[in-house]
Amino acid sequence: MMKITGATEIYGIVGHPVEHTLSPLLQNAAFQGLGLDGCYLAFDVKPRDLKKAVQGLVALGVKGLNVTIPHKEAAIAFLDKVTSDAARIGAVNTIVIREGRLIGYNTDGPGFVQAFNEEAGVPLTGKRVLLLGAGGAARSVAYHLAREGVKRVVIINRTLPRAKRLVRDFEMRFEKVDCFVSLVEL
């Protein structure tokens, strides 16, 4: 059983909905296993309340936050600083609070590329990739795939306007990568 005190550091995940997430279970087990005085919570925040929630993090003493659907893109507007990669991607999945400042990062793409390289052991350079989705995580993965030198990215998404927006943004940043959009109706 976790011992939570006034000195326990608070971390969490913000999204809507979040009741299905296993992140608190996994992160709290890691805190306990490492002997760290931390607690990880899930915060269900409706899109209309995101600004107030993010602005309250510093006042509440929260140390860090993961960002998930549907807030990865919108959260950027409420941060003090965003890494250059996160700015280019247009989405964050991590907010770190340092010295009262909210700093946004995006680790989705680098995590994907690292896992792919470790598991598949196949270089991405010159490959054709099928990307399912056009949200914040897909934006990061597409960006990092292009940095790895893929030849073509085909994007399939439930909603055509969102997929087209990702393709437009992607093509503006990477002229050497072909990008196509497909709509899959569910």
Task: Say if residue 67 is exposed, middle or buried (CB neighbours under 10 Å; 0-12, 13-18, 19+).
Answer: buried
| Residue 127 annotated to the active site | no
- Name the catalytic one among 46, 52, 63, 72: 72
DSSP state of 174: -
Could you please report the per-residue DSSP string of 34-51?
HT--EEEEEEE--GGGHH
- φ, ψ for residue 25, nearest 5 deg: -60, -50
Characterise 133 by phi-psi region: left (phi > 0), alpha (psi -120 to 50), beta (else). Answer: left
Q: How far apart are alpha carbons 83 and 40 in whole angstroms?
A: 24
State the Cα–Cα distance between residues 177 and 179, nearest whole angstrom: 6
Would you name the residues annotated as active-site residues? 72
